[in-house]
Structure 1
Amino acid sequence: MERKKFIKAIAVVSLLPAVFLAACKETGKKKTVVAAKQTYTCPMHPQIIQDKPGTCPICGMDLVQFDKNNKETSLTLGESQVALANITTLVVGAGALSNFKQLNGRLVTDPQHTTIISSRVAGRIEVLFVKETGVKVSKGQALYKIYSEQLAALQQEYLLSAAQVKQFPDDARFQQIEKAARQKLLLYDQSPAQISQLLQSQQVNPYVTYPATESGMVAGLSVSEGQYIAEGGAVMNVEAYQQLWVEADVYPAEAAAVKVGESVKVIVAGWENEPQTMTVQFISPALQNGSQLLQIRGTVPNPGNRWQPGLQANILLPLQSKGDVLRLPADAVIRDGKGAHVWVERSKGKFEPRMVQTGMESFDAVEITKGLTAGDTVVVSGAYLLYSEYLLKKGSDPMAGMAMPH
């Protein structure tokens, strides 16, 4: 019996190291598992943090992995990453900055280049050679043919007066009658060639074809084939677009900032890279009906008819300017609820965020009053991509914990 107890004790003692080692290995495994545990966050909502993959409870986006132990405030990107993200930089320097007031405007047809085609005689529209709007016509092109009994009567009157002159060539009275009859035909747009043809044929032709007096685009038709029209009645109107009006609305309190004869910038929607210079030609003396707005107007050239009436246009009124200020392109500054910040390149491929304070702004530039010094290299394009990359890699806002520069 004593021998059995001794053997059992020896077995227990020999097993203790193995059990201890197994327990240590299990603990190491648990520590390894804990150390290898990953953290996930939402790219749009960095406050959402989980220890496993999933979706954001706010926007539903898939969570992405990030290293929450990495406390470095900068991002390091390789040359290929910089090229792929189209990141460009600019060395900050002092320069002049002008501020502008932006007015909403539009392009409209210049009435001075609008021609109303009207009938010179009363009659019936026999043929319309242009039957729809939007058709381009050239000066001298046939537009319509009209049947006119009045014109036929004038032609007959001229033939009779010409015959009398031929019969009595020395009679001054008949010569005056013939001259007056000829003048009537000329006033009804009968050309000298048509009058000569009438004398040769000795046949009255009640049909007359009228050409376009100007080149342009047919903007409206007032008649149709077979319709009778009175003398002076509108047939169609032709608009030319080689020059357009620019109209903009302005509040009376702002009207003092603009004067007739002043040059302003005009930016047409879709052609932001080609600003036009316009001279203010008119400021309405009274408010528009039903509004508290005045209207200013000028003209801009339209080479090649590339712009159409109705396009939106912005007018930039110069208000004030500053000299020798630190300025950046507007896209280089990122704004959120915590303020404004930019990305500074500390060394090649290494970028860090920096909070800044802004001053006067124009439509394409921002004054930096605090946070930067002349000579700093700032990211101009790709700043928002760096912001997103920081959220993905760090899982926090780059401005978290940063103080406003003094």
Structure 2
Amino acid sequence: MNRKILVGLILIFFGYMVVALPSCKDPEHDKHAEAGKYTCPMHPQIVNNGPGSCPICGMDLVPVNSAGGKNELSLSDSQIQMANIRTVKISSSSFSTSKVLNGRLIVNPERTALVSSRYSGRVEKLYVRETGGRVNKGQALFQVYSEELQTLQQDYLLQLKQVAAFPDEKIYSSMREAAKNKLRLFGVSDTQIRSLEQSAKTSPLLTVFSNASGTVTELNITEGQYVAEGSQVLKLENFDQLWLEMDVYPNEIAGLSIGTKVKASINGMNENEQTVQIDFISPQLDPSTQILKVRAPIHNPGNLQAGMQATVFLPVSEISDAMSLPLDAVVRDEKGAHVWVKTSKNTFSPKMVKTGAESSDQIIILSGLEDVKEVVISGAYLLSSEFILKKGTDPMAGHDMSKM
């Protein structure tokens, strides 16, 4: 009995489906599909008012997608936001092209300070003990013991006594100044000389102070070591300003002169991009590399170091009135180049263009946008992919590049 009831219920269900499914079809949808335009997925130039087959490939024609016309693409607000679709109004502006040069940062030797011993003696105390440390102008570097220095001090005190004893004799005044200048030549400061005058006591010990600020890159003495007159004690480098050295081939030198401004970007540190001015062009070509060295001073904000590599953009030409777009706005393939233009709200259409010169981030549009007001500058490649997905064809199918 239960089995008969189950079979009956199954028959009733299938009967309902046979009757109900045809009635679920939307007559308005069929009417719209038959009344709308139909096109071939592979040949969008084939358009009929009704269903049929493509005369080229024989495929069944499909209704034109409601997401825009046959060569348009409509997106929702959320799709535009997710795809980062951004547009810009068409306008003319100045455009410049540039060549890319290799460069590197090197130490500026004009800001190098060498500290040498002005007399022979023994290093009694060393205040700077390692390289890499920062030294400020006027900072104590080391203390030296020198009998020669003590002799000079005694001579100066003697001349002071002579001047005091014979104030009207000019010869003693001249001898006093000569003794004072000799102390200065040996590195004794005016403050130390005044202290000597007040105390009237000589000392074989003298503290040597730095005459420049910088970083210690060489240290050639130790405590207890004897130094000779003229020997180099330490070396200071000022890294606040470095040199940007560039490699230039002979055919590029025509566009360079003293004072030419170039844009430099330190590799891996694009936030430190600077515009620098060339102040030196080597007069001699390196015979082994066929390269000229060109140099420009560059400011160091604090995180640049000698040895870093740089990319330098040498200006080649400049056009004052040109229609240019960002490189990402132009989609290029074997058929040519095209951009996406905004035809109405949230609706975009591909437009073939003829391009000209380009820089590192901009490209000139020679023709194709004469009647266009707004162009997509971000998300162009995503629009092309979406078009192919929805329309089943290339956005530039049927366009003739030879007519540009």
**TM-score, normalized by length of structure 2?**
0.70
CA distance in 2, matches of 1:119, 1:142: 14
Q: Which residue of the other structure, out of 350, 359, 364, is the alignment partner of 1:362?
A: 359
Q: State how many pairs are aligned.
A: 343
Look up the match of 2:254.
256
Give the C-alpha shift of residue 190 in structure 1.
1.4
Deviations 1:105-164 (A, max 9, x none): 233333222222222222233333233333332221222222333323333444555566
**1:165 CA drift (Å):** 6.3
* 1:148 alignment counterpart: 146
Q: 1:201 Cα shift?
A: 4.3
Rate the CA distance shift 1:388–1:239 in 2: closer, same or farther, 3 A: farther
CA distance in 2, matches of 1:176, 1:96: 69
- The question of whether the paired residues in 1 share the 8 Å contact of 2:341 and 2:372 is answered with no
Of 98, 112, 115, which residue of structure 2 is paired with 1:114? 112
Q: Distance in 2 between matches of 1:186 and 1:139?
A: 17
Deviation, structure 1 residue 289: 5.3
Superimposed CA distance per residue, residues 296-319 of structure 1 (whole angstroms, 9 cap, x where no aligned partner): 2233445x5464444444443332
Change (3 A) 1:312 1:338: farther
**Contact map agreement 1:102 1:317 (CA 8 A) in 2:** yes
Tell me if structure 1 keeps the 8 A contact 2:264–2:276: no
Alignment of 1:133-212 (within 5 A): 133-159=131-157, 178-212=176-210
Closer, same or farther: CA 154–393 of 1 in aligned 2, 3 Å: farther
CA shift in 2, pair 1:94/1:223, >3 Å: same
Q: Percent identity?
A: 45
Name 2:293's counterpart in structure 1.
Answer: 295
Does structure 1 retain, via aligned residues, the 8 Å contact 2:136–2:213? yes
Aligned to 2:347: 350
Q: Distance in 2 between matches of 1:347 and 1:281?
A: 53
Which of the numbers 292, 303, 318 marks the counterpart of 1:321?
318
Residue 152 of structure 1 aligns to which amino acid in structure 2?
A: Q
CA contact (8 A) 2:249 2:292 kept: yes
Residue identity opposite 1:145 in structure 2: Q
Q: Deviations over 1:341-372 (max 9, x none)?
A: 32323332233444433111122211122433
Deviations 1:59-91 (A, max 9, x none): xxxxxxxxx998765543322332233321112
CA distance in 2, matches of 1:196, 1:94: 71
1:99 to 2:97 alignment: yes
Judged with a 3 Å threshold, the aligned counterparts in structure 2 of structure 1 residues 220 and 288 are, in CA distance, closer, same or farther, namely farther
8 Å contact kept, 1:329–1:366: yes
Q: CA deviation at 1:199?
A: 4.6
Q: What CA distance in whole angstroms lies between the structure 1 residues aligned with 2:172 and 2:299?
A: 54
Match of 2:278 among 277, 280, 288: 280
Alpha-carbon distance in structure 2 between the residues aligned to 1:247 and 1:108: 7
The equivalent of 1:383 in structure 2 is 380
Superposition map of 1:59-78 within 5 A? 74-78=72-76
- 1:391 deviates by 6.3
Query: Whole-Å Cα distance in 1 between the matches of residues 344 and 107 of structure 2?
Result: 55
Q: 1:131 aligns with which of 118, 129, 132?
A: 129
Task: Give distance in 2, aligned partners of 1:200 and 1:264.
Answer: 56
Task: Answer yes or no: is the 8 Å Cα contact 2:122–2:224 preserved in 1.
Answer: yes
The answer for the alignment partner of 1:45 in structure 2 is: none
Equivalent in the alignment of 2:8: none
Q: What is the DSSP-based 3-state SS (H/G/I as helix, E as strand, rest coil) of the residue aligned with 2:148?
A: helix
Match of 1:237 in 2: 235
Asked whether the equivalents of residues 341 and 376 of structure 2 are also in contact (C-alpha less than 8 Å), the reply is yes
Could you tell me whether the CA contact under 8 Å between 2:327 and 2:362 is conserved in 1? yes
Amino acid at match of 2:347: K
Distance 2:340 2:396 in 1: 11
Aligned to 1:225: 223
Letter in 1 for 2:315: P
CA contact (8 A) 1:325 1:367 kept: yes
Deviation at 1:287, TM superposition (A): 1.0
User: Distance in 1 between the 2:275 and 2:151 partners?
Assistant: 55
Judging changes above 3 Å, is the alpha-carbon distance between structure 1 residues 132 and 376 closer, same or farther for their aligned structure 2 residues?
A: farther
* Cα pair 1:94 1:374 within 8 Å, conserved: no
Confirm or deny: 8 A CA contact 1:92 1:373 kept in the other structure. Answer: no
Matched position secondary structure for 2:138: coil
In 2, distance between residues paired with 1:220 and 1:395?
70
**TM (normalized to structure 1)?**
0.70
Question: Structure 2 vs 1, CA of residues 293 and 348 (structure 1 numbering), >3 Å: closer, same or farther?
Answer: same
Gaps of 5+ in 1: 1-17, 29-67
- Partners of 1:125 and 1:225 within 8 A in 2: yes
